[in-house]
Amino acid sequence: MELDVLKQKSIDAYKRIRSNVRHTAIDYSPWLSALGEANVYIKWESEQITGSAKARGAFNKLLTLKEDNPDMIEKGAVAASTGNHGAACSKAMHVLGIKGVIYVPAMAEDFKRKMIEQFGSTVEQYGHTCAEAESKARAVSQEKGIPYISPSNDWDVIAGQGALGYELHQDLPEIDVLFVAVGGGGIIGGMAAYLKSVKPSIKIIGCETDQSPVMSESQKAGKILEMPHKDTLSDGTAGGVEQGSVTFNLCKRVVDQWVVVTEEDMSRAIYNVLEHHHKIIEGSAGLAVAGYVKTKEQHVGKTVAILSCGSNISIEKIKAIIKTHG
């Protein structure tokens, strides 16, 4: 899809979903600005409904289906997730009166399963990995003739994330650099496509953990790689990139640099955000903060935005992080 087309789809998505999602705050960070001698802002999408940026893509996809295929969506919809996408779909389905089933892998944390259930969707466990749960959800979609809501491999979902890029540009038009955590590539792809179309000079930096650098390694290889799953604090970006995903070529076009950080870097970033901003963020949001800290010398004097993409982290993990770094 051409960037100008995706830009317009993102603007349309912003208008479509704005009554259902929050216009989240963006704050100047004195701590990060002083650390890197730059003007650094944090976009608190971690304070979005359901606690993550995924709400935008879910609402845009389901609202678009209600507009274009009302008969199909009346029968329900399915999705697969370790947590954030599932919660976003469950919330959107509840608001829009759509019956939903969310498939979760065994690796999904209990509190995230409960979060999905509290919004009204049925949760069914299948397989051990995200890929297995997604395969099951797609099979059920085909069998029952109901929509499968992909977490990233869908242009309407990507346009919903593009609406976040639109919102960010409205609030911070002087932005020079953007840091975003990357899993399947939908959030960074949507945001970057919009931002590049209105400000081609902007630098887009994708951040991954060294436990799951699937997109960056795939970009190096020139094809989507199957990589073994490793435990990571950033479960929101774990799970790999779906074969044939439209996000692969999109990221190739719009992401300028990849930064891979350690679990220690991510954990410390979460602690520092809590200490300096008094806000709780999840592992994937910590990736973007850690990515900036690792490369701060490259951005002296620039206006930098960091996407805090989610806040869904267990109290046990927060306690462990405080114990380690406090």
DSSP letter string, 146-162: --EE-SSSSHHHHHHHH
Host H or E run for residue 127: none
Host H or E run for residue 75: none
Specify the pLDDT at position 299.
Answer: 99
Contact by Cβ (8 Å): 236, 46: no
For helices 214-221 and 246-254, the axis angle rounded to 10 degrees is 80
> Which residues lie closer than 8 Å to 119 by C-beta, 6 or more apart?
50, 87, 90, 91, 93, 94
**What is the residue type of 187?**
I
- The answer to whether the Cα torsion of 325, 309, 204, 232 is positive or negative is positive
Name all domains of the chain by residue range, CATH numbers in brackets.
3-51+154-325 (3.40.50.1100), 54-144 (3.40.50.1100)
Specify the pLDDT at position 103.
Answer: 97
Contact by Cβ (8 Å): 250, 185: yes
Helix, strand, or coil (residue 93): helix
Contact by Cβ (8 Å): 177, 304: yes
Specify the pLDDT at position 70.
Answer: 84
Tokens of 283: 């592992």
Could you tell me the mean pLDDT of each successive run of 10 residues in the chain, 326 residues long?
A: 94 98 99 99 98 98 93 90 93 95 90 91 91 93 95 97 99 99 97 98 98 96 91 87 94 98 98 98 98 99 99 97 95
Helix, strand, or coil (residue 103): strand
Host H or E run for residue 261: strand 257-261
Closest CA to 252 of 185, 203, 199: 185
Tell me the C-alpha distance between 54 and 178, whole Å: 18
Contact by Cβ (8 Å): 291, 307: no
Specify the pLDDT at position 173.
Answer: 98
Q: Which residues pair with 57 in a beta bridge?
A: none
